[in-house]
Amino acid sequence: MAYNLLKGKKGIIFGALDEKSIAWKTAIKAYEEGAQLILTNAPMALRMGTIHELSKKTGDAPVIGADATSVEDIQNLYDTARNHFDGGVDFILHSIGMSPNVRKGKPYGDLNYEWFQKTLDVSGLSFHKIMQVAEKLDIMNEWGSIVSLSYIAAQRTFPDYSDMAQAKALLESIARSYGYRMAKIKKVRVNTISQSPTVTTAGTGVGGFDVFMEYAEKMSPLGNATANDCANYCIVMFSDLTRKVTMQNLMHDGGFSSSGMTEDMVEYLRKK
C-alpha cells in the first residue's frame, strides 16, 4: 500500500545490484511512493548486476555509472541529475560496502593493508565524498535526507566481519560530522541505519553468515528485519515525517541491539 510519502521528491540511489539488495527494494518503494529516481553504481557493478531491469520498474529511471570513490564521477553524476531533474535532489541512499579482505578470506591478523585501505575508501570514505561534492555543487534541496546503511559490527565484534567493522565505524562517524554540517548549511539530515543481517549479495559473502542470521533471529524479539523492512524505513527517513531526525545511527534490527538474552536463545541452548 502506498501513501504518497515521496510525491514530488527526487532522489539518487547508490548501490542497487540485483533484486536481493536493499537499494533495489528501496528504489521500488520510493517510486511507488511518488519519487523520481536516478540509479547509480560502479561501472563494473552495472555489468555484473541487473540494474537496467530495476530502471524499467521505476519509470525508466536513468542509470548512471559512477565510482563512488571518484570525486570526478560523483560530480558528473550530480551534474546529470541536476539536468535530468531540472533542479536539486531531495534524498540520497548510500548503499555501498565491499572488502577485498573479506572476499578473499584473509584472517583479521593477516590483513592486506592495501585491501584494507580499499575497504575504507569504498565502504566509508565514499559517504564523505558524496556529501562533500553535494555541498560544493549545492545539489541538495532544503530539508533533504541522506541515508547510509550500517551494521552493529561498528560497535561490537563479530567473527569474519573483519575490516568491514572499521569501515562501518568510520561511516557512522562521518554521518555525525557531516550531518552537523549539512544541517547548518541546508537543513539536510544525515543518518545511518544499522540493519539486521540480511540476505543480500554483499551480506552472504561474510563467513558464517547463516549462523549470524540464526543467532540474530533468536536474539531479536521481533525477528530479523528483512530487506523490505529496511526499504520501508528508508522511505520514512526520506519523507517529511522525519525532518528533525539527524546525525543518528538508527538501529533497525528487531530489538537485537537491546537484548541481553532471550527466551528463544535460552531454549535453544538448553537443547544443545
Q: State whether residue 88 is helix, strand or coil.
A: coil
Quick one: 106 exposed, middle or buried, by C-beta within 10 A (0-12, 13-18, 19+)?
Answer: middle
Q: How much is the pLDDT for 232?
A: 98
pLDDT tens per residue across span 172-230: 999 999 999 999 999 999 999 999 999 876 655 566 778 889 999 999 999 999 999 99
Give the residue from 59, 52, 66 showing the smallest Cα distance to 30.
59
Main-chain phi, psi angles of 224, to 5 degrees: -60, 140
Short-list 88, 83, 49, CA closest to 65: 49
Whether the CB-CB separation of 257 and 49 falls below 8 Å is answered with no
Q: Partners of 145 in the beta sheet? A: 91, 189
Model pLDDT, residue 8? 98
pLDDT of 252 reads 98
- Which residue ranges form the domains of the chain, and what is each CATH number? 10-270 (3.40.50.720)
In sequence order, which ranges of 151-193 are alpha helices (DSSP H)?
A: 164-186
pTM for this structure?
Answer: 0.96
Residues 6+ apart with CB under 8 A from 251: 152, 194, 257, 258
Looking at residue 223, its pLDDT comes to 96
Q: What's the confidence (pLDDT) of residue 207?
A: 60
Report the helix count and the strand count for the chain, using DSSP H and E. 11, 7
CA distances from 28 to 99, 210, 228 (A): 27, 27, 10
Q: Show the low-confidence residues of the chain (pLDDT under 70).
A: 201-207
Q: If we measure between CA atoms, which residue out of 196, 191, 260, 183 comes closest to residue 224?
A: 196
* pLDDT at residue number 203: 58
Distance of CA 207 to CAs 102, 106, 182, Å?
Answer: 8, 11, 36
pLDDT, position 120: 98
